[in-house]
Amino acid sequence: MPKLINTRTRIADLGKPRIIIIGGGFGGLEVASGLSGSRTQTVLFDKYNHHCFQPLLYQVATSGLESSSIVFPFRKRFNSDDFFFRLGEVTQIKPEENYIETSVGGVHYDYLVIANGATTNFYGMKDVQKHALPMKSIIDSIKLRNIIIRNFETALLSDDPEFANSLMDFVIVGGGPTGVELAGALAELKLHVFPHDYKELEISNMDIHLIEATPRLLNGMSDQASRKALEYLEKMSVKVHLNSAVKSYDGYEIVLNGGDKLISRTMIWAAGVTGQPVAGINASTLGRGGRVKVDEFNRVQGYDNIFAIGDAAVMEGDPGFPSGHPQMAPPAMQQGRLVAKNIIRLIGKKPLQPFRYKDKGSMATIGRNRAVVDMKGFRTQGTFAWFIWMFVHLISLIGFKNKFFVFFSWFWSYFSYDKSNRLIIARPTDGVH
C-alpha cells in the first residue's frame, strides 16, 4: 500500500469565520452544538472518530454494557455543510499565525477552542505507569474487561494457588466516583456472576481492594455521602484502605506508603488526571495539573481568540470556585455552551459574558439499589438515589439507540442478576499475565 503523505486537511475556505475545536469530549461537543446554524465554519479535530460517554466506561469494563452503547460517531452527530471533522491529533499551535499543525496537515483558524480534556496522572511513578491500567477511553475499558475475564480463565487452569489468587485479586487506586463505582461493579461480579461461571474456583478468594490517599471517599461530596459509600462497599466485601497511597508496583506486588503490601496482577488507576497542553501555547499560561489558565470568559491568558474549557482549563476567577472548577462533565458542558455564545458575540462585536458555574450536584453508584446523590438543598442515598443516578446518566447519553440499549441492559441485568457481555475481544496472547 502506498504511504499516505499528509500535506493538507482538505478543508475548504467558505468565507466564514472558522472555529477549530480540539477534542470532542463533553465540552467540545457543546461548542460545536452551540455554533450550529451560526453562519460559521466549525472544524473538530480528535484522535478518535467518536464521542465516548466516560462516566459509564466502568460498566463496559465489568461486562455490564456493550462498548457501542456509550460511543457515538461525530459525523453522525453533526451533519451540516458548515461542520467538518478530521481524524487527527493537534501537535502544535502557532498563535502568531492563527494556525495549527496536526498529524494530518495544517490549517488556519479565526478562533480556537482547546477542549482536549485530561490524561491519567501517575504522579511520576514510572513503574506504576508501566503496569497499572488507566480508565480514560473505550479502548482502556475493553482492555480491562479482557484482562478481568482472562484472569479467571487462566486461574481456572492453574494448579498454583498463589498464582491463581493473584489473578483473582483486583486493586483499584482512587476513591473518587470512578474508583467507587468500579469497586462496586467488581463486587457484583463476585456476588452474582462469577460463582456461576467458574464453579471450579473458590470465588471467596477474590479480593477487591480500594486505595484512597485521603481520609475519606468521594472527596467533593458530602460527609454523609462519603460515609454511606464506605458502608455500602464494606457490606459488599470490598477492602477499603483510607490514608493509603501507592509507592510502587511491579506488576505483581503493590507497596503502600505505610509499608503494607498487596499482591495482584491487576491494578486499575483512577487516582487523578493531568492536563494535556498543546505545544505552542506560552508556558506561563499553564497552571496546576498542566491545565491552561483562562480568564472569566474562558479565554487563554494572553490571547484574544484562543479559548480553553473543561479539564484542559483552570479558571481562578469564579467566586464560588476560587481554585478552579471540578474536572467533571457539567463544568465542561456549561463552559462549552457559553464559549460558543461568546464566539458568536465576538464576531458580532458584542461584549462577552463571564462564566459562572451552576453546580447542580454530584452522584455516584455502588451497585444495585445503592447510590449517593448530593444536589443543591437535597441529599439522598439508597434505592431512590440509584434511580436518580440511572435517569441522569440515561438522558445524558447521545442518541436514542444508545439510550435504548443502555436502558434495556440495565433492565435485564436488574431482574436476571446477569452481565451478559462477558467477552474477550482480543488475540489469545493479549492481556496474558
- Catalytic positions, written as ranges: 181
Taking the C-alpha atoms of residue 290 and residue 68, their distance in angstroms, rounded to an integer, is 31
Collect all residues with Cβ–Cβ distance below 8 Å to 352 and sequence separation of at least 6. Answer: 297, 342, 345, 346
Q: Which residues of 55-66 are buried (b: 16+ CB within 10 A; e: fewer)?
A: bbbbbbbbbbbb
C-alpha cell, 1: 500500500
Collect all residues with Cβ–Cβ distance below 8 Å to 61 and sequence separation of at least 6. Answer: 135, 140, 141, 142, 144, 145, 148, 182, 185
* Residue 419 to residues 62, 152, 409, 426, Cα–Cα distance (Å): 8, 15, 8, 19
* Residue 157 to residues 54, 211, 232, Cα–Cα distance (Å): 34, 30, 33
Q: Which of 9, 18, 352, 368 is CA-nearest to residue 188?
A: 368
Are residues 346 and 125 in contact, defined by beta-carbon separation less than 8 angstroms? no
Bridge partners (DSSP) of residue 1 are: none
C-alpha cell, 423: 467477552
Are residues 171 and 401 in contact, defined by beta-carbon separation less than 8 angstroms? no
Helix-then-strand count for the chain, H and E: 12, 24
The amino acid occupying position 124 is G
Collect all residues with Cβ–Cβ distance below 8 Å to 306 and sequence separation of at least 6. Answer: 93, 95, 111, 112, 113, 114, 281, 299, 300
The 10 Å Cβ neighbour count of residue 369 is: 14
